[in-house]
Structure formats: structure tokens, C-alpha cells
Amino acid sequence: MLFNKIDIKNHLNLIKSKHPKNLNHIFVFLEIFSREGGIQSYVKDVFRAYETLPESIKAEVFLLRDAKGCVNPFESERLQFHYFQTKSSQMGRARMTWALLNRLIHQRPDHVFCGHVYLAPLVGMLCQPLGIPYTVMTHGKEVWQPLPKLTKANLQKASQIWTVSHYTREIASGANNLDPDKIQVLPCAVNGDRFTPGQKPADLLERYGLTGAKVLISVTRLWSGDIYKGVDVTIRALWQIAEVFPEVKYLVIGRGDDQPRLAQLAEDLGVQERVIFAGFVPTEEL
């Protein structure tokens, strides 16, 4: 599904115009497997799309904060991963920078994909002198405000920018003087074969006390820096919703340091019996 949305054919045409090589693309990310979140899910969909490309196309993936031995179902001959998590974040970044530079010089990939705007200065600094084009993935609020000068400059010099929504494209373009024509909207994907209405599992209804309830669900990380996601707004609205749907309950899936505040808010408003904090829930159960 995601593959149909990625304008990756341009990159394929670029590859075909060159001599065969051992490495076509490099991906650079902060972390994918050491924590869960929307960015991590998005990147995993990108990997799934990449696996549908011709087998001759290969990539290497550089992960700054993931460690060797993490659970990684994408490791293969065509997608090779390098892990740089260390006790010292500066040491890990230095090791990744050196390894990435070595690959860029000796392998000369066709394209580099930078998985987060925070890594744009590093990727831009290494790719620009070598004439290697790069794409920066943007995900939301990190580009809604003016960026530091160095980050903005390297984002502006990217050959392409991916973002998840037309809203972010519009806001980021204005805040950081970006060329809108460079920004390709690549929305978050949902597997319609898995996420479809069906029979509600009785064991899950019983586990979360939802039998007979009308259920509102939020699936999100509960970080104190992400209150814009609106879980607190929904909690505040519950008493009004309950006037129309007396059996309503609110299931909050996800974890983070903001959960105690949200739980206290529910208690202060007298709706704590209607709010269930499920914590982390595996994709299979979602």
C-alpha cells in the first residue's frame, strides 16, 4: 500500500542510468527499534515498501540510537543495518559520522535518505561536497517552527523533502523558507487488511472492562512534550459525551511520562472510571 504512494520510480530511473553497484541507497535514522512511536511505524512501512523493489537494489541503514541485538525483522542481504548506540552519545555520533563518510566515499550511493531533520546537518555536510543527492524525511511539529540556521540551510539544500501531510508542508514551507515544489507528501499508511471492523475479541473487552461500552480510542505516545495530540482535550470532553452516550469509555493506548498528569486530570474531572490507560499494546492486538 505504501509503495504506491512513494514516488520512488524517479530514483529507479536514476539507478538504471548508472552502472550496477553494490549499494544504491543509504538511510540514516535516530532510532527505529529501541522505542515505539509514529515515526518508527512510518519508517517500518518505508522498509516494507523498499522490500518490494527489485532484488538488485540494495541499501544500508545507519541507526544512531539502536544497538546491535535489537529485534529487527528487516535485516537481510539487501537491507543491511549498522548500529551506533553507545553510553556516550557523542561517541556514537562520531562513530556513525566516520562510518557514513567511509561508505559515501567508497560506495558512492545514488541517494541518501535522512530520517529526521535533526540529522540533516550531518547528512548535508557529508553529501553536498560529494555531489550525492539526499532526501530529508519530516514528520510534523519538528518543522512547524523556524529551525536553527544550519539545520534550515541543509534542509533547503536537500534534493527532496518528504512529509506526512499537506498541513505540515504548508507550515514548514512558511516557517523555514522551503520550496514547496521540493516537498512530497507521503502520508502515514494503514494496512486495510489488518485494520478493518470485525468481531470484538471477548478477552480484550473483558481485560479492559469495555463490555457493553461505546469506546473512544487514542493510540499515541504520552509524552509531556506532545500534549498537542489532544488526549487531555478528549478527557475534558468526556462528561459532555456521556450525556449523549452514557456507556462511553475512553481507551488510551500508549505510554510516556505524561500519563500521571492525564490520570490525575481524569480523576479531578470525575471521569476516571471512564478512562482506561492500556499502556503499550502490541500491533497484533491493535
259-262, long-range: CB within 8 Å, 24+ apart, which pairs?
259/222, 261/224, 261/232, 262/222, 262/231, 262/232, 262/235
Residue segments in the chain with a per-residue pLDDT below the cut of 70: 1-22
Instruction: Classify residue 204 by its DSSP letter.
Output: H
3-state secondary structure (DSSP) of residue 151: helix
What pTM did the predictor assign?
0.80
Which pLDDT belongs to residue 21? Answer: 57
Which pLDDT belongs to residue 6? Answer: 47
Q: From CA 280, how far away is CA 266, in angstroms rounded?
A: 19
The alpha helices in 51-108, defined as continuous H runs, are 89-107
> Cα dist. 207→100, 197, 251, 261 in Å?
47, 19, 12, 23
* Owner of C-alpha cell 485494520: 195
Domains in the chain with CATH codes: 2-185 (3.40.50.2000), 202-279 (3.40.50.2000)
In DSSP notation, 167-187 reads HHHHHHHHHHT--GGGEEE--
Which pLDDT belongs to residue 43? Answer: 96
Nearest to 46, CA basis, from 13, 97, 2: 2
- The H-or-E segment that residue 237 falls in is helix 231-244
